[in-house]
Structure formats: structure tokens, C-alpha cells
Amino acid sequence: MATRESPQAIMDKIIALILAKKLVHYSDIQEYTGLSKRTVAKYLKDTEKFLASKGLKLVRKRNKGIYIEGDISLLQTISPQRQAPSNISSALFGYLLAAQRPVLIEELADMFFVSRSTLLRKIDYLKEKYELEISSSKYGIWINTDTSATKDALSNFIQQHIHSEITDNNGVLHYNYELDDHLGDFLADSTFKKVEQVITEFMRLTAFKIERREYELFLIHTVAEMSIYLKTGLTNSKSEFADSENLNLYSYLLNAEFNCPADNGNFPYVNRDLLIIENYNLKRNFMANNIEITKANLREILERILDTYDDTLIDNLANHLRELIGRAKLGVSVPNPYQKEIKNRYPAAFDRALLLGRHLKQIFNIEASEGEIAFLALHFESFIRRQDVSDDRIRAVIVCSTGYGSSVLLKQEIEYKYGRDIHVIRTMSEDELITQGFVDADLIISTISINYPKMTVVKVSPLLTDQDTIILEQKITTLKKKKYDDNVFLRLIKRKNILFVDDPTLTPEQAIAKIVNNLKQAGYVHEGMLETALKREEQSSTELRNAAIPHGDPRLVIIPSISILLNRSGMQWGKNHIKAVFFIAVNEQLDSELDRLYQHFYLLVRDNQVIERIAQAHSAEEVLKIIDTI
């Protein structure tokens, strides 16, 4: 760092760093100051003497670190205004939003007590995590708050850090929202409370009902818009939507609460959400690619494009797609916090949803995000498990926050695992629970926090994690998981379809080509399988944790099989570095066993040590032996 600084200034920085981090190591001081270890040691001796003069002690312990003992209030004269935030990435995001000017990297590094290289890593993290656009020039870096990309990033941040709980307030159930990170002080709790009051008054005046998922988006988008206005005074002046009474009413309520010039063109996020809410409450049909979006039309289209289905799947998808298409037309996408886990745990269902997404693009000219595709996958997973329903002794109600598809999936997941112990008598939304106010059941299984002393409540993930299983086992007497009669996964693996390579430069395309060419030569697949597998990979990477499961068109499969390519050196696949590739080549012959196949595969890939053992195996026999132990 600046060796031109005075010794006292450097010593002040070292003390400030220790005060901010409580415990530091030589490497921390070297990185922050840019000094050599030898020079740092010299300054620490000077610092020790200075602190001793103040009645404090500088402690240096091997294998523990460097810290200060004593009354640190005696050091308040040293840079008292400089405090390192607990979350540097969030504080940096908030500072740049409010700054409204270019800021030098060195200035920011000094402000947050980190080195230049650490700060650059924090910037890259913000760009990737929240898709934040950060501009740069010789004058520094900055964020343009008057862009939809910035508001998308801010909304994304809020979505990932907002938590809700249903609470009992004098016998009335209502939502309570909290934020676990405020971007420094950019996002104020008071802004959330005021926006909630505005939405409540808007609903009272219009008599509109707002479904929970849309309510949360409405709240988040309005908070994002108003936070930017309160910190910068900026509003978006471009009007995208036609004037309407409801837009004007909501703008008037915002203006009254925040004293802002809110006309219906200033807040495009809010306007899009309001149009979706209006369409739902006023029962408006709308058009997409010259097709009227009605439930009847959607049912007819789904029955035409799906290979296998039942009435429940068609009905659930039709209801879901009407909302999805309406949002997509306005450029609104619902974030899916369980996207990655759904894709990993239910690959067969995800593939069916992905195919449906391609049909949606062709028919309606809309693009569904991968998060939306994952929501659709829950309906297909429910369909796959439809027959696994049985009665039970414990009467349970499921309350779900992420929509009907996830509640149905959770219901069938529970009945699938605990069908002899639990009978799910009903699934309901949070809105229905609040409206009803009581539940006639023995147990509530909920995906959100419910503070309801009158009932036994178990909070679980929509995908029922291992921890959830432990909690449920404490509530019921005996649990017995259904066991598979045979290992269908192992049955589909042939020795000649296990390939070994040791090439760190191998690409996913080359790996898929090796596998498919081997299958073609053995007569397992038709011509064209390679092209369909590569096309599928382009749509959404098939890496799952530490492995990949590429696959092509089932119609090109002659003999169902699973091929394995093991690369001892590892290879880059999507965002992950993997060593094992499982090519799934199955067709309608395996429809009744697909769920068991993927369940076994999930058990396999969730264990990093097992995958590593397989990757280091020296023979096909050794690979099969390891898989047989799972």
C-alpha cells in the first residue's frame, strides 16, 4: 500500500484493522498495507509500544493471531469514524448505490479495510450473485441507479435476504417480513413497513386479492424503487404503460406516504406487478402470440403436446401456466430459491419441464427462466409419484409458500416416505391459513415459520431435507421408508459402457461424443443422438454437484442403458469441476422405473467421496462394486 505514508499513519491503519476484525494474522496486515512480513513485524513493535503507553496490550500468539487487550475506548481518537462492516459485499453494494459518483478502488479498499485484490473479488461476487452492472473508468467505479438492470439486482438482493413468518396477533394471523441484510443502511426497515401499509390500504380500497407470491414481488419491487428514490431522489421518468385508475391510485398512495413525485410512469416494476394483479382480480383474458390465454385453451394445448399425463397434471399446469405466461409477457419472473436443488434431485421431472418450456417458446413466444422451469418440474415430479398415496393415522395439513405445485410435491413426498404413519388430509396456501384462522388436524407441516401455539407445527423445506426427516421422526412413532426391490440403476450399466480417460483438457462436448460414439457402435442408440444430447446441454447444463448426466432424445434409444465416463484428472463442466459423467439413455420402456433410477442416482452424486472413489477406480468391475454398495 502507500509506502509514502508516514509511520504514524501506517501504524494507525494497523490498529484500525485490528479493531475492526478483532483478530488478525500477519497475512491480513500484509495484504491490507502492502508491506512485507519483515516490515510489518517492525511496525508491530512500534504499535506495541504505542498501545502500552495507552494502558493496552498488543497480544501476538502463534497459531492464534494478533489482537488487543484492554479498554479499547481509549483508542477512539484513532479514525473513530471508520468502522469495518460485518458484510463487506453488502456494504459495498449499498455504498455504490448511494454514492452517485465514480469511486476509486483504492478509496473503497481503504474504506472497507481490505486490499485492492480482495475488493475486486467482492465486486466480481456482486456481479455474479445479483447480476449487478458496475461501470468503470479512470475516475473509478459506479452504479447507475436509473436502469432496470440495477433495480433487478437490488430486487434480487432483497428476494434472497427477506424472511417471512405467519404470526398470531390477538387471534388474527398475518404476515411479518424481516430483512437479514440492509446493504449497509441503504434498505431501511421503515421503508418496508410503509410500503406494506400502502399495499394494505390499496387492497382495502380496491377490494383486490393478491396471492402471496405476487404480494411478495409487489412488496420487493416497490421497496427497491422507493429505496432508490429516498437515497438518490431519482425516479424513472419513462412511462411504459397506459394510464389506469388503479395505477394512479397506487401512485397517489405512495406519494402520500413518501412525499415523492409518483405518477404511473415513474415506477415500471410497480406498474408491471399492478397489471398482473389487475388481470387476476378482474378475470381478464389476454393474448400471447395471437392465442387467447384461457384455462380451456391451455388444457387443449397441454393435452396435445404432452406424451403422458393425467387430469390432475393438466389442471395444475394450466393454472400455473396462465400466471407464468402473464408474468412473462410483462418481463416479470418469480425467483426460485430451490431451483438448484430441484434440478439436482428431480432431473427426470426437470427434463420434462424443460421440454414444456421449449413448447411455450414456440407456441406463445415467451421465454421461461430456469427458475420458472424448476417450478413446473414440481408438477411433473408429483405426476411421476401419483400412485404413491396411502392412508395414515396422523392427520396432517401442509402449508406451502411457493405455490400449489410445491405443496402437492411435499404432500406426496411425505406420503411416499411415511405413508403408514401420516395421512395428509389437506394442502393449503398461507393465504388460506390466515383466512381460515384454525386447522382441524393433528399436525401442520409448513415450509414457512408459523408461530401458532394451539397446533403442533413442523417447519420443513419443500424438498424435505435430511434435517427435516430427523425432526419428523421425533413427531411420529414409527417411520418406514419404501425400499426398492432391485437396483435399476446398476442393472442398466454394462461393463463395455464404462470408459476411462485421463485428460484435463477434455470438454463436455468431447466427453459426450466419446460416450455416444461408443453406444452407436454397440447398437444402443440411433443416429442423431449426439446432436440431441449437445442441444440439450446448450439449454441447461446437466452438471449436478460433482458429476454430470447428459442425455438426448429418448426416441433415439434402442436399448436402455447408462454409460459412465471417468476422467481421473477432472474436467470443467458448466460451473463445476467434475470427474464422472453418467450418460442416461432410456426410453418409454423404463417409464415405470424412472423415479427409482433417479432416486438412486441422487443418492450417488450427493456423496463426494463415493464419486471420487469411482473416478479413481482402475476397472469396470471396481466401479460396479462401488455403485452396488450405495
Report yes or no on 514 lying in a domain: yes
397: β partners:
426, 444
- Examine the fold and report which residue of 360, 384, 408 is the final residue of a domain before the chain moves on: 384
CATH classification of the domain holding 301? 1.10.1790.10
Q: Look at residue 62 in the predicted model and tell me its pLDDT.
A: 85
CATH classification of the domain holding 19? 1.10.10.10
CATH classification of the domain holding 495? 3.40.930.10
467-477 burial string, b = 16+ CB within 10 Å, else e? ebeeebeebbe
Q: Look at residue 234 in the predicted model and tell me its pLDDT.
A: 61
Q: What is the tens place of the pLDDT at every residue in 239-288?
A: 455 567 888 888 889 888 988 765 545 566 688 888 888 888 888 788 89
Same domain, residue pair 467 and 419? yes
CATH classification of the domain holding 425? 3.40.50.2300
CA 171 → CA 168, 459, 506, 507, 532, distances in Å? 6, 21, 63, 60, 57
Report yes or no on 164 lying in a domain: no
Q: CB under 8 Å to 115, separation ≥6 — which residues?
A: 1, 31, 32, 34, 109
Any idea what the Cα angle at residue 91 is, between residues 267 and 20, rounded to 5°? 165
Report yes or no on 326 lying in a domain: yes
Same domain, residue pair 503 and 603? yes
60: β partners:
66
Same domain, residue pair 538 and 464? no
Same domain, residue pair 205 and 272? yes
Report yes or no on 171 lying in a domain: no
CA nearest to 400, candidates 369, 372, 374, 431: 431
Within the chain, which residues score under 70 in pLDDT? 1-5, 74-86, 234-243, 261-269, 387-393, 402-405, 438, 440, 477-487, 591-593
Q: Look at residue 235 in the predicted model and tell me its pLDDT.
A: 57
70-100 burial string, b = 16+ CB within 10 Å, else e? eebeebeebeeebebbeebbbbbbbbbbbbe
Report yes or no on 1 lying in a domain: no
Q: Are 417 and 460 in contact (CB under 8 A)?
A: no
CA nearest to 400, candidates 450, 341, 346, 334: 450
459: β partners:
446
Q: Look at residue 404 in the predicted model and tell me its pLDDT.
A: 63
Q: Look at residue 5 in the predicted model and tell me its pLDDT.
A: 67
Report yes or no on 126 lying in a domain: no
Q: Look at residue 591 in the predicted model and tell me its pLDDT.
A: 67
Same domain, residue pair 531 and 606? yes
Task: Report the domain count for the chain.
Answer: 5
For residue 52, give its domain range: 7-75
Q: What is the 3-state secondary structure (H, E, C) of 400-434?
A: ECCCHHHHHHHHHHHHHHHCCCEEEEEEEEHHHHH
Q: Look at residue 458 in the predicted model and tell me its pLDDT.
A: 87
pTM of the shown model = 0.60
Q: Are 230 and 183 in contact (CB under 8 A)?
A: no
Report yes or no on 110 lying in a domain: no
Same domain, residue pair 617 and 498? yes
- Examine the fold and report which residue of 475, 505, 534 is the final residue of a domain before the chain moves on: 475
CA nearest to 611, candidates 578, 589, 586, 587: 578
- Examine the fold and report which residue of 384, 414, 449 is the final residue of a domain before the chain moves on: 384
Q: Look at residue 4 in the predicted model and tell me its pLDDT.
A: 55
Same domain, residue pair 511 and 619? yes
Same domain, residue pair 380 and 413? no
Q: What are phi and psi of 52, to 5 degrees?
A: -60, -35
d(CA 624, CA 399): 42
Report yes or no on 306 lying in a domain: yes
Same domain, residue pair 380 and 352? yes
Q: What are phi and psi of 184, to 5 degrees?
A: 75, -115
Same domain, residue pair 413 and 444? yes
Same domain, residue pair 507 and 581? yes
Same domain, residue pair 205 and 299? no
- The grid cell for 266 is 415513474
